[in-house]
Amino acid sequence: MFISSQNSPPSFRDFTLVMPAVAVGNVGQLAVDLLVSTLNMSRVGFIHTDCLIPMAGNNPYSTCKEDAEELHAPAEVYMAAELKLAVLQIRAPIIQKNSKKFRQLLVSWIKASGFSRAVVLSSSHAYQRDDQQLKGTPLRYLATQSLLKGSADALKELGWREMERVLPYPGLADANAEPRLYIPGGGITKGLYTDSCAEDLPLAVLLLFCSEGDNIPDAFALVNHLNDWLHLLDSPSQKQNKWKIPTSWSLLFGSGIPPALF
């Protein structure tokens, strides 16, 4: 359920929604951080649900001492009205038994809000790729038929690679086996995509094969990939230098080593 933080609820009709999947390396969430921070997006509300682990924290995008102590929730919505762009940032893990319920909540909200399209930023375990997925770029995409009606030409011009379907047991010949969509480590990515196909929702998934560790370079790669399509920055040729890192990233790997240890 969306709760507005403004006196009058914002209108998202014909907006593009970008959201992360809580997946390996948290790449989607880091990429969304870059969007919110760089585009100076305004918080307009949050998603109230029991599907996420409860948490609260300080402002991850603070720019001065005065706004650093603002309280922030597990799932918040930001907006850049001039770009007709909305972002849902998810900061807490999804409770496993409520995964389907959370997907249904998102699909219902996207449809009720009138978004023109939704984009899920996700990731998948690099070590579980099959032979065909080892070739070329580690970036992949998926798109529902509803989204392809208006964006097929644009995606074709970009030359992106669609996420390959793989056999249930790679390497074992089985005439009856059909390739399937497999996104290990992708959280709700596959389920949300499947639900969106069933609901005729215009949704795309952009994902990156990666491993756990320092995933900041992966976040830049994913958000640059998104920018190639949506052109959110004015100067695409300098996009690598224009993304603004939020203040919360200074503690991405915790604080320094306590001197008392030595």
Which of the residue ranges 69-73, 102-106, 217-221, 227-231 would you say has the lowest mean pLDDT?
Answer: 69-73
Kindly list the distances between the CA atom of residue 210 and the CA atoms of 129, 186, 213, in Å, as whole numbers in the listed order. Answer: 10, 11, 9
- From CA 107, how far away is CA 192, in angstroms rounded? 8
Task: Give the tens place of pLDDT for each residue, 11-54.
Answer: 999 999 999 999 999 999 999 999 999 999 999 999 999 999 99
The pLDDT assigned to 140 comes to: 96
The stretch 182-203 carries a mean pLDDT of 96
| Strand arrangement, sheet containing 85-90 | 2-4, 42-47, 75-80, 85-90, 16-20, 117-125, 203-210, 139-143
Kindly list the distances between the CA atom of residue 209 and the CA atoms of 18, 58, 125, 133, 140, in Å, as whole numbers in the listed order. Answer: 19, 31, 6, 9, 8
CA nearest 120: which of 221, 28, 227? 28
Q: Are strands 42-47 and 2-4 parallel, antiparallel or unpaired?
A: antiparallel
User: How high is the mean pLDDT of the chain?
Assistant: 90
The pLDDT assigned to 121 comes to: 98
Q: Which residues contact 43 (CB under 8 A, 6 or more apart)?
A: 5, 72, 76, 77, 78
- From CA 186, how far away is CA 72, in angstroms rounded? 25
**Helix, strand, coil fractions of the chain, as percent rounded to 5:** 40, 20, 40
CA atoms within 13 A on the CB side of 250: 6
The pLDDT assigned to 238 comes to: 45
The pLDDT assigned to 171 comes to: 64
Task: Give the tens place of pLDDT for each residue, 154-192.
Answer: 998 999 999 999 887 766 666 567 888 999 999 999 999
The pLDDT assigned to 35 comes to: 96
The stretch 204-211 carries a mean pLDDT of 96
Chain-centre distance for alpha carbon 76: 13
- From CA 90, how far away is CA 75, in angstroms rounded? 4
The pLDDT assigned to 130 comes to: 87
Q: For the whole prediction, is pTM greater than 0.85?
A: yes
- From CA 77, how far away is CA 18, in angstroms rounded? 10
Q: How confident is the model at residue 5 (pLDDT cuts 50, 70, 90)?
A: confident
Q: How confident is the model at residue 209 (pLDDT cuts 50, 70, 90)?
A: very high
The pLDDT assigned to 49 comes to: 94
The DSSP secondary structure of 25-85, one letter per residue, reads GGHHHHHHHHHHHHTTPEEEEEE--SSB----B--TT--SGGGTT--B-SEEEEEEGGGTE
| Domains of the chain from N-terminus onward | 14-250 (3.40.50.10900)
Question: Which SS3 state, helix, strand or coil, does residue 93 take?
Answer: coil
Task: Give the tens place of pLDDT for each residue, 66-103.
Answer: 777 788 899 999 999 999 999 999 999 999 999 999 99
The pLDDT assigned to 147 comes to: 95
Asked whether 14 and 114 are in contact (CB, 8 A), the reply is yes
